[in-house]
Structures are given as C-alpha cells and as structure tokens.
Structure 1
Amino acid sequence: MAIEQLPDGRWKVDVEPIKGKRFRKTFKTKGEAQRFEATCRSKVIENREWSPSTADTRRLMGLIESWYDLHGHSLRDGLRRRHKLDALAKRLRDPIASRIDPQAYAHDRRVRLEAGASPKTLNNELGYLRSVYNELRGLGVIKYENPLALVKPLKIQERELSWLTNLQIAELLDSIRTGCDNPHVEPVVLICLATGARWSEAEKLKATSVRNGVITFSGTKSGKVRSVPISAELEKRLAKHWKQHGPFMHTITSFRRALARTTIRLPKGQAAHALRHTFASHFIQNGGNILTLQKILGHSSLAMTMRYAHLAPDHLQDAIRFGPVLMPTKRSVDSSSTLATSKSKKPRNSLGKSGV
C-alpha cells in the first residue's frame, strides 16, 4: 500500500507515481500522508523531474557563515556583525535555523536586558539576524521565511540630546589647552564644533581633505561623501597643525580625560557625540534652516534632523504666542471686562420692552 500506519502511530508514505520515481516519508497524521501522496502523483505527472524538497536541517551558525561569505563580507561592519551573530547563535545553542524558536530568542533577549545590555544594542542584533534570513532567501540559499519576522523590537525611550553652551565650550577648550598632552585633540574638537562631524569622521581627515575653505568627509557612516564650508582661520590652523604634527591619531582617550577635568557632566555614551549635538543645536538656535542642517550632518532622513527642530527660535516663540494666557495683563483684563459688560446690555428694538 502507498500509505500504512506504523506501530508507533505515525503514517508512512511509500509511493511510486511512475517507474523509477519512488518517494518515502513519515507523517504524524494520516491526512498529512494522504496530501503528500496526492502531491507526489500530480507533480510527477506534470514534471517527471520533480521531487519533494527535503527538510533544511542546517544550523544557525552554518547559515551565518553562508551569509558572511555571500554578503556580509562586503559590509563595512560585516566582521563585527558576524561576531555578534555567532555569539547569539551560541547562546541559543545553535538551533536548526529554519526552526529557531521566537520564545527562546525572546528569553535570551530578556536575560541580556536584565544583565545591562541596552535596548538599542538588542534591537540592532535582531536586525542583523533578520538580515541573515532575508539576504539568504533573496539569494535562493533558503526557501523558508524568516522565523523571527513577527518578533517586535524593544521600545526605546528617547533620550534628551546633550549639547554645550558657549561657556562650557570655552571651559572644555581651556582644559584641553592646559592639561592635554596630545596636540591632536584640540583641532579635532574644533572640526566637530565647526562642522557637526562625528568624532571618527574628523579624526580620519587628512591635509588633502581641506581645500578652498571646504572640508570633505569620506568614509562616513552613511557611506556618502559630504562637504562642509569652514572659516579661513580654521583652514589655516589645520594646515599649520598637519605640517607640524602630521595626521590625527589616538585622540579619543585624551579628549575624555580633558572632559573629565571640567565641570561638564554628560550622559553615558554622549561624550564626543555631544560636540555634534552642540553644532546642530547652536545652528538651529541661531536661525539655521533644518534642511540645510540635514545636508551638513549627512542624515539620510529628515526625521533624524528633526530632533533639533524644537530649538528653533520661531518654534519657541510659538509656544508663547499660541499657548494659553496664564498671567493676563491689566489691559487684557480691562478689555475682557468691557466686552462682558457690552454683551450684558440688551439692545433696544422697535417692538418695545417685550420684544414681541
């Protein structure tokens, strides 16, 4: 028979639709076995070369390796991503990739969150793992859908962006000039404050990156080249510095030490990045255009730049102009009283007192 029940209760299919094409498979229910038999008979009649696909039993680490060989190696942070993905696969005990359990993943995420991992880090890892499945499916390496497609990322509480006042900028520069033994720190700080560059972008600059009053940043986070004008004074200062001291190097540690010697206290993770926020915040407060700021900072979407929109002078004035009047002036009180009095007087009409 094509279908028979085994002693353990499962159902075995042994079907040979045409001579030389024989298929065997075991199922938990009789219905599944019958559907498999019918599929085999119909498909082989339509296409003699057809055969049922076998279960994909490749492990998650094997899938990550395939992703890196075919796609990940071309990414700027591909090797870093692979290390994170390998660590995740080990924590999940390297399951069969097609059967990865969303609950097991969610449990691992909870354990790491309680251990101190930030929600943003965990969301990045979820994105990396989803990318493995999506890229390999697009390349035809796997045929099944992403088993974590319905797992939602963690909600992240937006933090207030920290930026420096003019007095704090002066204090920081004074700390660098008087107590820093690394001559490269001050020019990198000045570049960040003058252009809104990320610390890594400023540190990678060379003498050839500054020409005709314009700094050109390459190797940026978005992968795009952008140019930002600078003052003639800063251009001369950078040219003199590179001629005397050579390219920038080993600056971030010295900068953090100089910052620690000041009274400035910034949230964790915003030390050097506060310089970028400082440029953007002052730019908007001084009346700069939000679209121009997007181009200067190199944001791929305007939504990122809109974080600074609340600092615009017009935006702040609107809160005063259009908000409720909490402390009315004497003039507004008198006007309101006059209006109320005028409304209380009944107008005369030609019909007499009764008005009918």
Structure 2
Amino acid sequence: MAEPSGLTHTETITDLAGATDAWRQWLTSEKRASAHTLSAYERDLEQFLDFLQDHLGTAPGISDLAALKPADFRGYLARRVSKGFAKTSTARALSVVRGYFRFLERRGVLSNAAVFSIRGPRIPVSVPKALTVTEAAETLDAMGDLASEPWIAARDVALVSLLYGGGLRIGEALALNRSDYPIGDTLSITGKGNKQRIVPILPAVRAAIDDYVARCPYRGSPDDPLFLGARGKRLQAGVAQRAMRLARGWLDLPETATPHALRHSFATHLLAGGGDLRAIQELLGHASLTTTQRYTSVDAERLMDVHSRAHPRDR
C-alpha cells in the first residue's frame, strides 16, 4: 500500500500504540489539524478503543482491528446510542474511526473493509439560526452600553462588528494579532485546515476596531493579540460568549443568539440582499458549496413569512 502523500514516518508499525502515535503525527504534520481538532479526534478514537476492550474482553491489538466484522461496528454505534450521544457527534466519531483505518491501510498495517460498509446515523439538515437585521443592529448597540469599562465596551463592539460585518468565526477573530492592525479594506484570515481567505472590511467595522485600539490601555508587539481580556491576555471565547449572553438577556433575544449566530446573520443577510452563493462560500471559507446552501433555506423561510404577511390572499 502506498503511504499517504508527504508522509516521512518510515518505521514499521508493530503495535496499536505505535499505530496511534503515527496517526497522531500525521494529523499534526501533514493534515495540519488544530489542537482543538486533534483533541476531539483523539477522544473519539479513545472511546472506540475503550468500546473494543469491553466488547472483546481484552485490550485490542492490530490483528483484532483487522478481524472486526460489520456487527462489531454496529455494536459500537449502538453503544453510543445507549449512552445518549447526539447523531452529529456519532457521525463525526465514525468518520474519525474510518479515517484511522484508512490511514493504517495506506501504511500497509491492516486492511478492513467492514468499517466502510457501515452506514452512519442520518443527520437532519440543520438550518442556521440568524438574527434579523434589526436584532443585529440592536446587539451592536447593546455591546457598547453593557460593559463596565469604556475600552472593554469598545472591544466588544469591535469584535461583534467583525463577526457580523466580516462573517468570521469567533476563533478566527480572536486569533488576530497586532500585526494585522491597522485594518485595511481587506483582511487575510486563516480558517479551518489553515486555509487562507480574504475578507472585505466595511468602513464601519474598521472604525469600530480603530476606536477599540485607541481606547485599549495595553500596547504590545506585533506578535501580541489584537483582542485582549481585562488582564491584557488574549481574549478567550468564553468571555465573548458571556458578553453576548448579557446582550441577549438585555434585548430578550433567543438562546440561539450567540457569537456564531452573527456569522450566520452575515451570510443570511448577504443572500437576502442578492449576494451570489459562490461569493458567500468564499467569504465564509466553506470547503463545500453544500454547507453554504443551508442559507438558502433560511432565506426561503424569510420569503415565505413575508409572503404570508403581505399577500392579500393570505389575510
């Protein structure tokens, strides 16, 4: 079997521990998985191997993995159902297990077609929950009124403006450094899988960031974070989420009004305004157009609501 492209790991794998170490190294060096992704993958694989130990009555080895039958993998899925795992979580876990077997097959360690014959749980298509244009504007205003210190209020407004005005993920925004400032007409963002994309920056977003930087009491080097917490360290996502929860309570918004909902709102409002789906895909950094197409359902729901309220035959 040919090795995965670019793999430099050449020693013979003789046990499961070595196989897992090689897989982990490959994810880190070749797939460039983030620390968060790597941790989630490791947890999914560990849960699968724990199941096998209970299922087989002994710690599994490479030969045990090679001998697994479809019924064994169905037992694994059934165990996750009995433990109350969400379908989305189980679908991802099965994908991780398949990836692990595929990696070992490419390394010539083992071959087992059974894992690829199992159908995973059917995932219902989730429709992103977006704020209305009015709710998004009110959220921006609330962020400027609810913080205890003026510079923190300016920071929260700048962050929310960037999420809604640029469609960034919260992690992408918080990963920005001082070297990214001053913000120009565009911003280079490193997204999932270390993929780069260019995001246009609206004048209002740029002005909000300028105001925050001018008020921020901390001055740092280019390698220091752009968005800072109260103690001058990189702002944590949990702090931003708490600020959003406070605004949500103040404005009586639904629990779906999270920082990530601002990204959904960005896409939904662009589409409603006539934005091209392919362009929105590029702006969001989606690898597949299928992911972006979920927003057409949001817009369709909005149009149906407008129709039902405005058409005379619906009154």
Q: Is the 8 A contact 1:189 1:275 kept in 2?
A: yes
The normalised TM-score by structure 2 is 0.72
Equivalent residue in structure 2 for 1:165, among 129, 132, 142: 132
* Residue of structure 2 equivalent to 1:117: 85
* Residue of structure 2 equivalent to 1:296: 283
Amino acid at match of 2:20: I
Q: Is the 8 A contact 1:60 1:97 kept in 2?
A: no
Equivalent residue in structure 1 for 2:188, among 207, 216, 220: 216
* Residue of structure 2 equivalent to 1:199: 170
Higher helix share: 2
* Residue of structure 1 equivalent to 2:19: 63
Amino acid at match of 1:144: S
Query: Gaps spanning 5+ residues in structure 2: where?
Result: 1-12, 54-58, 219-225, 228-234
Q: Deviations over 1:54-88 (max 9, x none)?
A: xxx9765553234224x133232334312331232
* Residue of structure 2 equivalent to 1:72: 27
Question: Number of matched residues?
Answer: 261
CA distance in 2 between counterparts of 1:160 and 1:309 reads 9
CA drift at 1:312: 5.8
Amino acid at match of 2:251: T
Q: Is the 8 A contact 1:207 1:239 kept in 2?
A: no
Other structure's SS at 2:253 match: coil
Report whether the alignment pairs 1:252 with 2:224: no
* Residue of structure 2 equivalent to 1:237: 208
Query: Gaps spanning 5+ residues in structure 1: where?
Result: 1-56, 321-325, 328-356
Runs of 4+ in 1 over 4 A off after TM superposition: 57-62, 310-313
Q: Deviations over 1:296-327 (max 9, x none)?
A: 111112222122234669x959x98xxxxx96
Other structure's SS at 1:157 match: coil
Other structure's SS at 1:103 match: helix
Aligned in 2, Cα 1:63/1:191: closer, same or farther, shift over 3 Å? Answer: same
Q: Is the 8 A contact 2:165 2:266 kept in 1?
A: yes
Other structure's SS at 1:148 match: helix
Other structure's SS at 2:293 match: helix
Amino acid at match of 1:105: F
Instruction: Give the structure with higher Rg (CA).
Output: 1
Q: Deviations over 1:277-314 (max 9, x none)?
A: 1011110111111121111111112222122234669x
Larger displacement relative to structure 2 (183-192 or 97-106): 97-106
Amino acid at match of 1:253: R
| Identical-pair percentage | 22
Aligned in 2, Cα 1:168/1:316: closer, same or farther, shift over 3 Å? Answer: closer
CA drift at 1:154: 0.6
Q: Is the 8 A contact 1:294 1:305 kept in 2?
A: yes
* Residue of structure 2 equivalent to 1:46: none
Q: Is the 8 A contact 1:192 1:276 kept in 2?
A: yes
Higher strand share: 1
Report whether the alignment pairs 1:177 with 2:144: yes
The residue correspondences of 1:328-339 to structure 2 (distance < 5 A) are none
Q: Is the 8 A contact 1:226 1:298 kept in 2?
A: yes
CA distance in 2 between counterparts of 1:154 and 1:308 reads 23
